Chains A and B, each alone.
Chain A
Amino acid sequence: MKKFLSLILAAVMLLTLVPAMAESPVEITMLLEGCNVTDDAAVLEKLNAYLGEKIGVTLKPVWGTWGNFDDLAQNAVNTGSSEYDIMFTCSWTKNEYAPYAKKGAYVRLDDPEDNLLNEYGAELKTVLPDLLFEGAMTEGPDGEKGIYAVPGFKDFATMNTWDVNVTLLEKYGYTLEDVVKAGFYGWGDIFAKVKAGEEAEGKVFYPFVFEGAVVERYVDGTPIVTGDSSGLLSYYMNTEDVSVPGAYGNVIFNKFATPEFEKFARQMREYYLAGYIDPAIAIGETATDTWRNAQNTASYLISSEVSLYGYEYTTSEARGIQVAYVMTTDAPYIDNTSVQGAMMAISANSAHPVEAMKFLNLLNTDPFVMTLLNYGIEGVHYTLNAEGEVEFNADARAAYSPWTNGLGNVTLLPPQKGQGADFQKRFAEFYAGSKKLPIYGFTFDGKAVETEIAAVANIKDAYALSLFTGAVDVDTALPELLSKLEGAGMQKIVDEANAQLKAFLGE
């Protein structure tokens, strides 16, 4: 009898709890990437009051940093943990979108049985360009293609550019036109004159400062082949019109075995020997610092940059010179890497997928939520000037700077100082003009040639940067590299990639 009574009592207690639970907002935990946030209390208080009222949700962000995000995400996925409802994901860090989706770590958003996207993300679907959803298609655990994350609306097309120090260029009587016309293979004279002139003033000056690991892409027009994380493969795009196949057609090559590569490497060697390139750029440990330092201190003539729309203003301001970006293709190009650059997935173990989707919908469509989460509180973290542009309060911003591109729809944000009131409109229009690569959607799956890739990648690492930067003699290093690659099974990887590409295009 006593047992029975206590059971009834317990049941009554539970019943009284139910309505209370339904009313209190659901807490959504979100794991973010690349943030530098030490004080979020004020922002969250304001945000959660709004969210609670609007969709019955409160947000608890976990501010991952560049340094710890990979580990946090990896642990959560591998242990099947339910601690994060929403997780940042993308195709370029160690933590790749496709493998985790394949593993079943994320909820399929366009599941035919339970289409969260249609049901709770209708506004979101109208706001984001279709091609973003197209790019977010990936294979799930069942082998079928689906959308496993909400893609971020940001600079979703790749813009490989030469970053030109116009102020310095004009000092020596050249114009931007001259640089564009001469092209990479004809910059020798300009470099010579500027270097001589600058060094006559008594400083050490290297006119050509770039990111060694990727500069070959700019010169040869070879986009990243998605899935080729070691950078072994080259696909040659048509730089005159990136939406149609180039002279080689849709074929993938060993990056180092083409005549184009040899020509590029020889030219770099020439520039290196002439003293136009800082030797520190050829050393892995110092390469990035040297490149960025030269840019920030405006001690360069031509540099490389993966740019974005309106970036000239930011850098010109910061460096105190006039910066121009010269695109190396006719239009920004869309490939998987750029489209899957920043996305938000709902964890398969989340207890609240519906609320998570509601929140993502709001984050990508409601300027108030996006601006508050991204820029903080008006009057505290930033102020709006007469043109309606954001001016940050440096101190408050230092304690609250999430990674803008890693959050969601950046076109909802008010423009920053100097961008102009209609910046976001121009931004969206600009990227609407970007073009899809003919192999857009293709992802190389290296599983079948894993061993070869591991062996080849080690060999490549030993040579690549010094060849890219001209630090070694092409006549000895290149044949050596090629024969070693051949011995380690490079051809097998290329064949596999081409077979997969053929199958992909044949579909």
Chain B
Amino acid sequence: MTTAAARKHGSFRLNVVSRKAETLFHVILGVFALACIIPFIFVVIISFSSEESIRQVGYSFSPAAWSLDAYNQVFNLGDALWRSYFNSFLITIVGTVASVAMCVLYAYPLYRKDYRLRGFFSFLSFFTMIFGGGLIPTYIICKNLLGMSNNYAALIVPMLVSPFNIIIMRTFFQTSVPFDLIEAATIDGSGEYTTLVRIILPIVKPGIATIALLTALGYWNEWFLCLLYVTDRKLYPLQYLLMEMQRNAEFLARNSSMIGASGASAISSLPSQTMRMAVVVFIVLPIACAYPFFQRFVVAGLTIGSVKG
């Protein structure tokens, strides 16, 4: 039997697991992928259902009637919506760039074996991973001491440094950048900054992309900082706009008998359930669109530095 024929029959393949195992893996990964995507598809379907249908049959994959009402309502938010969209983008972009820069600049010296205070600074960042100050002291420091109240800084600065990302980045430096490279660069007359920017950074691009993605996701989904420090509606990110609708609805449901009749009118003026789902779609779309651009680097990050077959 020739190799070509064997290949055709699938009995002779290089570097692959058996058909059975491969099928099994595909099924497992397929199920996992479905588990991730189905809730989102469900949200999209609900956002296109009519309120009436939800009242009758509840949330359903096949609603009794379709409707664009929810999206009309969302667009009717007008300025509030676009303003929040703008805020979300601003916070995410500025936050991610600043945070990644800090992370790289912190992780790089930690990787340099010739840096004397390496142990101390490693400990400093690692320590905060295990022991936090707690909510109230953090709140006092941010709000009263640093004046982060009702401004963009309050939405960006508290999340700027992530010890977890620093450790990922340091490990990435260690596994992908041989120290000899730095020595070689030094001998060739490259200064520290040139070495970092022109030699090291291009190598660790996949690592940077990975933490940039993690950070961007973190900023995009953040609403708790806004709850703590911001009461000015002009600064609300989109995620908090949604959260506020949700929390208002929950509060009124829980306390309706206490608020009495005025609660009834408050409930009826709440955004409908379908509208809240439509806002979710608005939130997910941009970040979902950003994924493919990062994916290339993330996949590269998985394979780089290991022994390749």
Q: Which residues of B contact A405 (CB under 8 A)?
A: 259, 262
Query: Interface 1/0s, chain A 60-88, versus B by CB < 8 A?
Result: 00111111101110010011010100000
Q: Which residues of B contact A287 (CB under 8 A)?
A: 253
Q: Is the C-beta of A365 less than 8 angstroms from some C-beta in chain B?
A: no
Q: Is the C-beta of A311 less than 8 angstroms from some C-beta in chain B?
A: yes
User: Which of A267-306 touch B at CB < 8 Å?
Assistant: 286-289, 292-293, 295-296, 305-306
Interface pair B268/A288, CB less than 8 Å apart:
no
Interface pair B80/A79, CB less than 8 Å apart:
no
Q: Is the C-beta of A355 less than 8 angstroms from some C-beta in chain B?
A: no
Nearest opposing residue in chain B for A68, CB measure? B227
Q: How far is the CB of A97 from chain B (nearest CB, A)?
A: 13
Interface pair B247/A66, CB less than 8 Å apart:
yes
Complex: how many Å from CA A159 to CA B14? 80
Q: Which residues of B contact A293 (CB under 8 A)?
A: 55
Complex: how many Å from CA A253 to CA B188? 87
Instruction: For the A-B complex with A34-B259, A71-B228, A92-B255 known, give 19 more contacts whose Cβ atoms are closer than 8 Å.
Output: A36-B269, A67-B246, A67-B250, A67-B251, A70-B251, A75-B136, A78-B136, A79-B139, A79-B144, A92-B258, A213-B257, A288-B253, A288-B267, A289-B273, A292-B268, A296-B268, A305-B261, A308-B260, A308-B262
Contact among B80, B247, B252, B261 with A38 in the assembled complex (CB-CB below 8 Å): B80
Q: Is the C-beta of B266 less than 8 angstroms from some C-beta in chain A?
A: yes
Give the most central of A67, A72, A315: most B CB within 10 Å: A67
Interface pair B258/A337, CB less than 8 Å apart:
yes
Complex: how many Å from CA A70 to CA B228? 11
Q: How far is the CB of A464 from chain B (nearest CB, A)?
A: 14
Q: Is the C-beta of A403 less than 8 angstroms from some C-beta in chain B?
A: yes
Q: Which residues of A contact B253 (CB under 8 A)?
A: 287-289
Complex: how many Å from CA A289 to CA B264? 10
Q: Is the C-beta of A211 less than 8 angstroms from some C-beta in chain B?
A: yes
Q: Is the C-beta of A244 less than 8 angstroms from some C-beta in chain B?
A: no
Complex: how many Å from CA A34 to CA B261? 14
Q: Which residues of A contact B139 (CB under 8 A)?
A: 75, 79
A71-B264 contact in complex given A65-B244, A79-B139, A213-B257, C-beta closer than 8 Å: no
Contact among B227, B250, B265 with A71 in the assembled complex (CB-CB below 8 Å): B227
Interface pair A79/B143, CB less than 8 Å apart:
yes
Complex: how many Å from CA A485 to CA B232? 46
Q: Is the C-beta of A214 less than 8 angstroms from some C-beta in chain B?
A: yes
Complex: how many Å from CA A83 to CA B232? 14
Q: Is the C-beta of A424 less than 8 angstroms from some C-beta in chain B?
A: no
Interface pair B255/A292, CB less than 8 Å apart:
no
Give the most central of B80, B136, B149, B264: most A CB within 10 Å: B264
Q: How many residues of B contact A (CB 8 A)?
A: 38
The tally of CB-CB contacts under 8 A between chains A and B is 95
Interface pair A72/B231, CB less than 8 Å apart:
yes
Q: How far is the CB of B79 from chain A (nearest CB, A)?
A: 8
User: Which of B42-94 touch A at CB < 8 Å?
Assistant: 55, 58, 80
Q: How far is the CB of B40 from chain A (nearest CB, A)?
A: 20
A288-B248 contact in complex given A71-B227, A403-B262, C-beta closer than 8 Å: no
Complex: how many Å from CA A36 to CA B80? 12
Q: How far is the CB of B206 from chain A (nearest CB, A)?
A: 39
Q: Which residues of B contact A68 (CB under 8 A)?
A: 227, 231, 244, 247
Query: Interface 1/0s, chain B 217-233, versus A by CB < 8 A?
Result: 00000000001100101
Q: Is the C-beta of A458 less than 8 angstroms from some C-beta in chain B?
A: no
Q: How far is the CB of A353 from chain B (nearest CB, A)?
A: 20
Give the most central of A34, A63, A78, A337: most B CB within 10 Å: A34
A79-B244 contact in complex given A296-B268, A306-B260, C-beta closer than 8 Å: no
Q: Is the C-beta of A364 less than 8 angstroms from some C-beta in chain B?
A: no
Interface pair A211/B136, CB less than 8 Å apart:
no
Q: Which residues of A contact B136 (CB under 8 A)?
A: 75, 78-79
The 10 closest A-B pairs by CB, nearest first: A67-B247, A306-B260, A66-B251, A288-B253, A92-B258, A67-B248, A214-B257, A66-B248, A308-B261, A79-B140
Nearest opposing residue in chain A for B224, CB measure? A71
Q: Is the C-beta of B256 less than 8 angstroms from some C-beta in chain A?
A: yes
Complex: how many Å from CA A257 to CA B118? 67
Interface pair A34/B268, CB less than 8 Å apart:
no
Q: Is the C-beta of B243 less than 8 angstroms from some C-beta in chain A?
A: yes
Interface pair B248/A295, CB less than 8 Å apart:
no
Q: Which residues of A contact B262 (CB under 8 A)?
A: 308, 403-405
Interface pair A307/B260, CB less than 8 Å apart:
yes
Nearest opposing residue in chain B for A155, CB measure? B260
Nearest opposing residue in chain B for A337, CB measure? B258
User: Which of A48-68 touch B at CB < 8 Å?
Assistant: 62-68
Q: Which residues of A contact B265 (CB under 8 A)?
A: 314
A292-B264 contact in complex given A68-B227, A79-B139, A93-B255, C-beta closer than 8 Å: yes
Interface pair A75/B228, CB less than 8 Å apart:
yes
Nearest opposing residue in chain A for B268, CB measure? A296
A62-B231 contact in complex given A75-B139, A289-B253, A308-B261, C-beta closer than 8 Å: yes
User: Which of B131-150 touch A at CB < 8 Å?
Assistant: 136, 139-140, 143-144, 149
Query: Interface 1/0s, chain A 307-342, versus B by CB < 8 A?
Result: 110010011001000000000000000000100010
Q: How far is the CB of A311 from chain B (nearest CB, A)?
A: 5
Complex: how many Å from CA A36 to CA B252? 14
Give the most central of A79, A155, A286: most B CB within 10 Å: A79
Complex: how many Å from CA A437 to CA B224? 42
